[in-house]
Chains A and B, each alone.
Chain A
């Protein structure tokens, strides 16, 4: 039972990690706590559903198209909303509040278009992998693998490519980066593309491992994702990975009967919020590294 819970925790944690990496990049470079991120994820999940269900594309193609669509949405919103706010030199509070307004608009738009009914991807839930005493469904294994690949790719992109170095320079000091001749607006667009791709992927993976999802589900994942970001340290994608995994395992293990009887599973989100609060109180700079982008 213990190892099964750890495995489940790694699955939950992988999904949180992908979402957290996307939130983290935008937070580090644009100083924006994006409250609409959960709704970006729901958007991606629904787009993939639409490509896979009615349009009969394979799950992989549907996922890639959903990631692309979410990236396009992110960039479009940057042009329509965030760029005007940047031009006005809007501070952290304005951005935070605007993202809350955006979250409301996006979620209600999804509900209006797609309706509140739960959706399912047509995947075979009976293909199961058995490793020792642990049983994992195919979707769960795919979630862990996809999350690991995505995080490593983003990590390599940020550390090895010129574009990635530009983004890290921006995260360290935007005005210094600008006077050094860095094309700030291009780096910002890249930031939104990376964050959007990750949001789309996180949405699809969350929909896969939770079996069913509706337009509200992104918002429910948002606070655990923020918790993972804070735990991992803002701006660090590997930190996001670790933060997500630690949080996922903590949430699942909290229900283990060997652990003082275990808490009621309905309290799993509460465990995430408690971990978040404790993390902030003990180490506001995050547990893994200082605030930087790598």
Chain B
């Protein structure tokens, strides 16, 4: 059977797209609406995923308590990063944020006692015990499945991820139409003007950084639950670049462009692993991995050069300078 006809394949593509929609929406809020050049977004995904996994697997907390706390931890990470760095020039802010995400990844790789180290979450309770953090989630997912009468667990995950994604997209859509959102866009266009009108530019930037970080934390939770295991290598700067590709390709300064970019990303990222027809069948799995990232790099370049407003972006609203 061709992969394209398999329901499980498409469920996986769309679950990945849903997780990345939430993740990239945070970046859209920060960059597309407030102009913050955040290149450390993956750090907040890592904080969300690790906080939940540590609290559940090591401390024995309930998932329902650990999950919201993890999102809070990601938001707090955004505040702590923003406090000293938001006054920096845009280029320096970009470099410091990526350095921040790398510092966290190095700590997660080397501090075995806290995170399980390079072996990942399976090592959370030390060697000899296979630690696991998602038993409660699996039960919840099974409940949702039987409640909705779905035929597979994947379908239940799909409903859950996209349910949360649509709620967050809608909230963002509303938020940018409030005075708060208009102020953000004013800051993006010219922060001196916003400041001269009495707006506390720094506070607004800090808020949007924290909210975007919280979104990344939520994406981290779903990432952890979908894959049942993760390690520091899952949070390389590359993941941040994926979010940038999604936001750029979909279109800057728009809310519903994010899922469009994320679905295209999902097809490239997840789809090309399983395409078993020509021309994909010419390449081995390692070469496919290289080609996949090459395509993502090319999409970033071509979007910047040929269509800086993205697929759905409006030139009048925001175009990459």
Question: Which A residues are within 8 Å of any B CB, using their own CB?
Answer: 33, 81, 84-85, 88, 90-94, 96-98, 100-105, 107-109, 111-112, 116, 223, 226-227, 230, 264, 266-267, 269-270, 273-274, 276-277, 280-281, 284
B227 at the interface (CB under 8 A from A): no
Check if A266 sits within 8 Å of B92, measured CB to CB: no
Check if B291 sits within 8 Å of A223, measured CB to CB: no
Set B37, B100, B106, B297: member contacting A103, Cβ < 8 A: B297
**Docked complex: B36-60 residues within 8 A CB-CB of A:** 37
Judged by DSSP, the binding face of B is helix
B196 to chain A, nearest CB (A): 23
What residues of B have a CB within 8 angstroms of the CB of A85 in the complex?
304-305
Mark each residue of chain B from 283 to 301: 1 if its CB lies under 8 Å from any CB of chain A, else 0.
Answer: 0001100110110111111
A83 to chain B, nearest CB (A): 11
What residues of A have a CB within 8 angstroms of the CB of B89 in the complex?
284
Closest to A92 in B: B91
Check if A276 sits within 8 Å of B297, measured CB to CB: no
Check if B103 sits within 8 Å of A98, measured CB to CB: no
Interface centre among A93, A98, A105, A276 (most CB of B within 10 A): A93
Check if B287 sits within 8 Å of A102, measured CB to CB: no
Q: Interface size on B (CB < 8 Å)?
A: 41
How many pairs of A and B residues are in contact by the CB < 8 Å rule?
Answer: 121
Set A102, A116, A227, A281: member contacting B85, Cβ < 8 A: A281
Set A92, A105, A266, A277: member contacting B96, Cβ < 8 A: A277
Check if B290 sits within 8 Å of A93, measured CB to CB: no
Check if B320 sits within 8 Å of A108, measured CB to CB: no
Check if A96 sits within 8 Å of B91, measured CB to CB: yes
B9 at the interface (CB under 8 A from A): no
Interface centre among A84, A102, A280 (most CB of B within 10 A): A280
Check if B291 sits within 8 Å of A100, measured CB to CB: no
Check if A226 sits within 8 Å of B293, measured CB to CB: no
**Docked complex: B258-295 residues within 8 A CB-CB of A:** 286-287, 290-291, 293-294
Question: Given A97-B320, A223-B99, A280-B92, does the pair A270, B294 have CB atoms closer than 8 Å?
Answer: no
**Docked complex: B79-118 residues within 8 A CB-CB of A:** 84-85, 88-92, 94-96, 98-100, 102-103, 106-107, 109-110
Question: Given A96-B94, A108-B291, A112-B294, does the pair A269, B106 have CB atoms closer than 8 Å?
Answer: yes
Mind listing 11 A-B residue pairs with CB under 8 Å? A94-B320, A97-B300, A98-B304, A100-B297, A101-B298, A105-B294, A108-B290, A112-B291, A116-B286, A270-B103, A284-B88
